């Protein structure tokens, strides 16, 4: 093995020279490629080599690194697949892409000092595992991933094919009922899920408020905060084998009596007894709240136990448009009154201090929910892109059988928009993505979370998303804030929707299975397809028309035909699309994150005691003008972009607001109101330049 020395392997120093200017005043981007070349030399020196690829595979299986793939594939088949992978050209496009892959994803020796696979070999084992012995499927997955059109989520990309692995799904959503049995059950389930690498979001909205009665004795209930604190402690304890801290979020309905104290948990001056320092917080916000703020009316918070006692129904399950005035008028319902606009400002103030709470717009989500007659969307996940129906399990005393109902798991993957468009393979990539996600769903069975298992078995939900929107726009000299950008997004995500339905229908036809209660969905009745059948969605600008000139855009006739096929064959997946933050894996793809605008033309990331600089993809003297920072982007235009995409996405989009530190709470509150008005289902973090938030890694696809 070559002796490592600083002079030979000075990739960090070379990468750091990127920010220096050349004689023209532009960045020395060539230094990034020089750093990449030197880094790959180091990788080569630290890699264990074998005489043949089959020898390597046998070694890794025999030594408990890979699962026993020889039970599914013959050596002849494996050699065929290996030759297929070798024929596809691949090179990392940036120093960050390579360093991120080898730091976080590649298989290493047990002492972590040497590499046992390169990118190609990693893609092959992931594909072999997902394909379950099907040679042609494995080849399709390899092609899609080697061309960097489709990218599985971090949990899948990291764990698939390994003998010693965590789960391949990203995160989970649980709902707790107002009983100690349920609280204990959820506490235990959350720890089990955190242990296997999942981020866990929990809806606390059904818990009785502080000071409510227990068994008729007034003033004894402790409220939601002690439960939240207990959950936070659990996530700290069950920390995924010490590899990374557990990740959790707690959601509360904005009409819950404990709202002010819940908001206080994220204030910088909060008492340590109530402060939630490592768990995320989110608010479930029905449209009624915005109506009260708009009309400058008082805003009442209700004690949920008194509501349930009066109406036999949980506060969180009520339609507040229908019930709010009744609750206010009912003297038997315990309540306290605030100014709605003041509360909006308080939320904005808390966000500016901490980035929290997330905002989940409940009625926006349920208004367009194709499964509205089957169940209600209650909360979202840690990254606010998952929106699926959820039910409350009944956890009974010992000796009485529990009634387990459906919770939620997130099974994610993303398409690289630039590579998909440049290849022209939109339909193929969507189909491959849905197929890969389906195989992950088939392979997932989490016995320690029976509600999650039940939902996965019955609904087969997945979440295909996208990344590199800003990168692709900049490459084609389209400004992110422009109408042309929204025109492109409208067409692309309509196509994503079409082809994902198409593939889900094909899987349902092939297997003879639909998701449970399909016949009660808007897909079965045809209602979902009505807007697409009424008029063609076509490019409005010549520039966007040119980008799609060699790609077939589904017409209203195509949509009508698809609707007919869905009516005949059903859909396999209750949910198909969700756009996650794609933080980690977008580096490997050399892509801009998700559908958000970039923060910096050259991003700075600190790893250990060194800094890595990441120039945006396609950055040049010509494209730099199209890489406007998110902090300088009109946030109304950002919301317009997300609203354009959202109309084609059956779940949600992880949406970050970027604001300057001098923004007023009133102005920030206007963004909330506008986002709600435009039909967004959620807002994730609010970030300012002075605020550093520990972003969610559970959905970092």
Annotated catalytic sites, by residue?
381, 383, 385
CA 660 to CA 641: how far, in whole Å?
A: 20
Q: Check if the beta carbon of residue 432 is closer than 8 Å to that of residue 140.
A: yes
Phi, psi of 682 (to 5 degrees): -165, 165
- Cβ–Cβ < 8 Å for 252, 284: yes
How many angstroms separate the first and last alpha carbons of the chain?
35
- Long-range pairs for 40-47 at CB < 8 Å and ≥24 separation? 40/92, 40/98, 41/8, 41/9, 42/4, 42/8, 42/9, 42/11, 43/98, 43/102, 43/115, 43/118, 45/1, 45/2, 45/4, 46/1, 46/4, 46/113, 46/114, 46/115, 47/114, 47/115, 47/116, 47/118
* 93: Cβ contacts below 8 Å, ≥ 6 apart: 590, 617
Q: What share of the chain is helix, strand, coil (3-state, %, to 5)?
A: 45, 15, 40
Euclidean distance between CA atoms 595 and 654, whole angstroms = 9
Residue with token string 């017409």: 555
C-beta of residue 498 within 8 angstroms of C-beta of residue 559: yes
Rounded (5°) CA angle 199-454-518: 110
CB of 249 within 8 A of CB of 682? no
Do 210 and 221 form a contact (C-beta atoms < 8 A)?
yes
Q: How far, CA to CA in Å, does 414 sit from each of 462, 488, 698?
A: 11, 18, 14
Q: Which residues pair with 336 in a beta bridge?
A: 301
DSSP 375: -
Partner residues linked to 579 by β-bridges: 653
Alpha-carbon distance 406 to 410, whole Å?
13
Query: By the 8 A CB rule, do 491 and 539 touch?
Result: yes
DSSP annotation of 353 reads: H
Q: Do you know the residue count of the chain? A: 701
3-state secondary structure 401-468: CCECCCCEEECEEEEEHHHHHHHCCHHHHHHHHHHHHHHHHHHCCCCCCHHHHHHHHHHCCCEEEEEC
Q: Find out whether 278 and 235 touch, Cβ atoms under 8 Å.
A: yes
Task: Compute the Cα dihedral for 380, 384, 386, 388 and give only its sign.
Answer: positive
Helix (H, G, I), strand (E, B) or coil at 364: helix
- As a whole number of Å, the CA-based R_g of the chain is 25
Burial readout 562-580 (b: 16 or more C-beta within 10 A, e: otherwise): bbebbeebbbbbbbbbbbb
Q: Tally Cβ neighbours within 10 Å of residue 632.
A: 10
For β-strands 358-361 and 280-285, DSSP reports them as parallel
Q: Is 621 exposed, middle or buried (0-12, 13-18, 19+ CB in 10 A)?
A: exposed
């Amino acid at each position: 093995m070559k002796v490592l020395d600083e002079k030979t392997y000075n990739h960090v120093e070379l990468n750091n020279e990127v920010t220096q200017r050349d004689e023209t005043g532009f960045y020395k981007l060539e230094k990034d490629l020089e750093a990449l070349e030197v880094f790959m030399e180091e990788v080569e020196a630290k890699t264990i080599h074998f005489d043949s690829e089959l020898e390597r595979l046998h070694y890794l299986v025999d030594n408990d690194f890979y699962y026993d793939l020889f039970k599914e594939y013959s050596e002849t088949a494996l050699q065929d697949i290996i030759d297929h992978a070798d024929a596809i050209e691949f090179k990392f496009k940036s120093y960050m892409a390579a360093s991120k892959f080898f730091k976080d994803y590649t298989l290493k020796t047990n002492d972590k000092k040497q590499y046992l696979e390169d990118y190609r070999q990693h893609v092959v084992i992931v594909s072999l595992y997902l394909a379950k012995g099907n040679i042609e499927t494995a080849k399709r997955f390899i092609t899609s991933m080697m061309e960097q059109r489709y990218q599985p989520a971090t949990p899948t990309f990291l764990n698939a094919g390994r003998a010693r692995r965590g789960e391949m799904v990203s995160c989970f959503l649980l709902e707790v009922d107002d009983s100690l049995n349920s609280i204990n059950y959820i506490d235990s389930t959350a720890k089990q899920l955190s242990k296997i690498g999942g981020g866990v979001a929990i809806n606390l909205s059904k818990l009785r408020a502080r000071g409510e009665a227990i068994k008729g004795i007034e003033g004894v209930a402790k409220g939601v905060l002690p439960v939240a604190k207990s959950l936070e402690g659990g996530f700290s304890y069950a920390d995924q084998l010490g590899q990374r801290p557990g990740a959790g979020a707690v959601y509360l309905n904005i009409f819950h009596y404990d709202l002010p104290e819940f908001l206080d948990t994220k204030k910088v001056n909060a008492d340590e007894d109530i402060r939630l320092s490592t768990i995320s917080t989110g608010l479930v916000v029905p449209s009624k709240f915005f109506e009260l703020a708009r009309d400058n009316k008082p805003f009442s918070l209700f004690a949920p136990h008194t509501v349930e006692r009066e109406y036999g129904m949980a506060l969180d399950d009520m339609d507040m448009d229908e019930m709010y005035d009744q609750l206010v008028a009912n003297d038997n319902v315990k309540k306290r009154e605030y100014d709605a606009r003041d509360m909006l400002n308080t939320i904005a103030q808390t966000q500016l201090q901490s980035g929290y709470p997330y905002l989940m717009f409940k009625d926006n989500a349920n208004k367009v929910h194709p499964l509205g007659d089957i169940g209600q969307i209650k909360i979202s996940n840690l990254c606010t892109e998952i929106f699926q129906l959820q039910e409350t399990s009944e956890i009974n005393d010992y000796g009485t059988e529990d009634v387990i109902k459906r919770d939620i798991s997130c099974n994610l993957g993303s398409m690289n928009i630039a590579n998909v468009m440049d290849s022209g393979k939109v339909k193929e990539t969507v189909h491959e993505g849905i197929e890969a996600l389906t195989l992950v769903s088939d392979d997932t069975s989490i016995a320690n979370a029976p509600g999650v298992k039940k939902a996965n078995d019955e609904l087969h939900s997945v979440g295909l998303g996208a990344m590199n929107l800003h990168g692709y726009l900049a490459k084609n000299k389209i400004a992110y804030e422009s109408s042309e950008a929204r025109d492109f997004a409208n067409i692309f995500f309509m196509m994503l929707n079409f082809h994902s339905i198409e593939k889900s229908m094909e899987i349902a036809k092939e297997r003879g299975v639909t998701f449970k209660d399909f016949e009660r969905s808007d897909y079965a009745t045809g209602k979902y397809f009505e807007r697409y059948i009424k008029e063609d969605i076509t490019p409005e600008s010549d520039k966007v028309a040119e980008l799609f000139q060699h790609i077939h855009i589904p017409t209203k006739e195509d949509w009508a035909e698809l609707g007919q096929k869905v009516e005949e064959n059903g859909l396999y997946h209750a949910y198909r699309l969700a756009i996650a933050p794609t933080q980690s894996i977008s580096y490997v793809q050399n892509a801009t994150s998700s559908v958000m605008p970039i923060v910096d033309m050259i991003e700075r990331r600190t790893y250990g005691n060194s800094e890595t600089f990441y120039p945006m993809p396609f950055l040049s003297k010509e494209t730099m003008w199209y890489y406007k920072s998110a902090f300088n982007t009109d946030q109304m235009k950002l919301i317009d972009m997300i609203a354009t995409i959202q109309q084609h996405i059956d779940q949600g989009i992880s949406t970050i607001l970027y604001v300057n530190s001098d923004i007023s709470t009133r102005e920030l509150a206007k963004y909330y109101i506008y986002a709600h008005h435009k039909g967004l289902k959620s807002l994730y973090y609010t970030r300012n330049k002075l605020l550093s938030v520990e972003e969610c890694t559970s959905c970092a696809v």
